[in-house]
Amino acid sequence: MTSVQDETGVLAGDERMLIDGELQHTSSGATFDVIHPASEEVAGQATDGTVADMERAVGAARRAFDQTDWSRDLDFRYHCLTQLHEAFERNKEHLRRVLITEVGCPVKVTGSQIESPIEEVKHWAEHGRNFEYLADNGVHETPMGPARRKIHYEPVGVVGAITPWNVPFYLNVAETIPALMAGNTVVLKPAQLTPWSGSEYGRIVAEETDIPAGVFNVVVSNANEVGAALSADPRVDMITFTGSTATGRAILAAGAPTVKKTLLELGGKSAHIVLDDADFNMALPMAALMACVMSGQSCILPSRILLPRSRYDEGIEIMKNMMENFPVGDPWDPNNMQGPQISEGQRQKVLGLIQSGIDSGARLVTGGGIPEHLPTGYYVQPTLLADVDPDSQVAQEEIFGPVLSVIPYEGDAEAIAIANNSIYGLSGEVSGGDLDRALEVAKRMRTGNVTINGKSHFGINSPFGGTKQSGLGYRNGEEGYKEYLEAKTIGMPE
């Protein structure tokens, strides 16, 4: 079902989807093209699933939850996810090549998108096996006498996972493995631009694990209404979604009639406050690098750089030099660290937002267009905009491209106010020499996560989630695992 196109390493993924334990095409045989963004050529096809396919997948997941022992057999779940971890390890290089083909992610930076999620499978298997599903809450006095209370953590039920295209394999794993280990059944709807990271996951489950039919399903489709059907289906108990805030609002609305539990990781417009006592030569090259790696297609990217007026020109020059010398090109070349945007539509959105910044008074320091040496592929130059109006579109809207907007400030209070001037609150960063001062600034930023001096907030053991319109709930950590569980309090005699 897979094939290598040529010596570039481009690899077509499995066309099929997984429903009720069977790898299958949609009944009409319809497919849609998957484009390699570095060449703009068709790399292969994926089956074009329908609303009827989604309804069958949800039905299979509902039956598997209600009529099998999956939700109650912890040892078997551990066995299956241990198998899955080993199977992912065996398929690691295959998955890497599929990822690069679909996304255009440079091979040099695929570790966080391949090795990391594979290790997360092992982590969640161990975490779930050791989790205390029946916790003693102690003895409490009541009008009817003392009562012992226990908290029983039980799976939510059927979980629908809708994932984006920027880090598809990682998020397919992150949104489904904790759910499965907690005892839920799952229907995965991968992004339209990256269907193979989902279909290959389904193939591996079907061919290399003992996960029962219906417990894990993958529905691949090029139609928006298929994901919408998953969100609205009353048989689905929970939706987990990563993507745009606009789509997140639609998912909330679709789930409202059944008061569906919803876990959302939405858009971001993170700010990096660089304090006047920061080591600019440490902080700013990394800020420029992070804007370019993954072509800027990251929800946590600190794309607004706030510089003190006293060191403004110095900071801009450092980032300019870094971005002008950043290695952009063929993702199969290990010397490159920035590949193409995912699609021509995404590239045009990025270029349009850059132009909107210039039109609103921003100064183009470097970049702003298509690299002359890369006429083929959806590439955008690393771009630095200075003197950006904090209220302008380019400072307020998520770009998802290799673009930094630099905004000057006077004093910590103004920097914090500018950083908080956003509907989003997913991530942020502070750089400074005085750690106590940097921590106080970080505490005042209205965001779910903050990095100080490059020490990342993101990790499997720490909760990750957004404030304001950047989401609801958490991934990772104890809090992230509990998102896929319901807490039942039981009162009983002492």
* Residue 114, helix vs strand vs coil: coil
Residue 441 corresponds to which amino acid? V
Distance CA 344, CA 379 (A): 9
Alpha helix positions (H), 303-453: 312-324, 344-359, 393-396, 412-419, 435-444
* Residue 470, helix vs strand vs coil: coil
Beta bridge partners of 436: none
Which strand (E) or helix (H) includes residue 52?
helix 51-67
* Residue 255, helix vs strand vs coil: helix
Cβ atoms of residues 421 and 409 within 8 Å: no
pLDDT for the residue numbered 3: 46
204: Cβ contacts below 8 Å, ≥ 6 apart: 84, 87, 88, 91
Residues with a known catalytic role: 265
Q: Give CATH 3.40.605.10 domain extents, the chain.
A: 17-266+471-492
Cβ atoms of residues 448 and 470 within 8 Å: yes
Residue 133 corresponds to which amino acid? Y
Neighbours of 355 (CB within 10 A): 15
CA dihedral 475, 479, 484, 490 (to 10 degrees): -170
Distance CA 172, CA 196 (A): 11
* Residue 468, helix vs strand vs coil: strand
Distance CA 354, CA 46 (A): 33
CATH code at 17-266+471-492 = 3.40.605.10
**What is the crossing angle of helices 196-208 and 74-90, to 10°?**
120
Distance CA 181, CA 177 (A): 6
- In the block, residue with structure tokens 């500018």: 418
pLDDT for the residue numbered 229: 97
Give, as one character, the DSSP assignment of residue 466: -
Distance CA 296, CA 399 (A): 8
Q: Give CATH 3.40.309.10 domain extents, the chain.
A: 271-452
Kindly give the confidence (pLDDT) of every residue in the chain, 494 residues in length, as a single tens digit, with 9 standing for 90 and above: 444 444 568 999 999 999 999 999 999 999 999 999 999 999 999 999 999 999 999 999 999 999 999 999 999 999 999 999 999 999 999 999 999 999 999 999 999 999 999 999 999 999 999 999 999 999 999 999 999 999 999 999 999 999 999 999 999 999 999 999 999 999 999 999 999 999 999 999 999 999 999 999 999 999 999 999 999 999 999 999 999 999 999 999 999 999 999 999 999 999 999 999 999 999 999 999 999 999 999 999 999 999 999 999 999 999 999 999 999 999 999 999 999 999 999 999 999 999 999 999 999 999 999 999 999 999 999 999 999 999 999 999 999 999 999 999 999 999 999 999 999 999 999 999 999 999 999 999 999 999 999 999 999 999 999 999 999 999 999 999 999 999 999 999 99
Cβ atoms of residues 286 and 293 within 8 Å: no
What tokens does 311 get?
A: 């060191």
pLDDT for the residue numbered 8: 64
Report domain 271-452's class.
alpha beta
What tokens does 476 get?
A: 């990772």
Q: What is the DSSP string of 175-214?
A: TTHHHHHTT-EEEEE--TT--HHHHHHHHHHHHH--PPTT
The count of C-alpha atoms lying within 13 angstroms of the C-alpha of 260, restricted to the half-sphere facing its C-beta, is 28
Pairing of strands 261-265, 238-242: parallel
pLDDT for the residue numbered 9: 80
**Which residue, 301, 233, 249, is CA-closest to 272?**
301
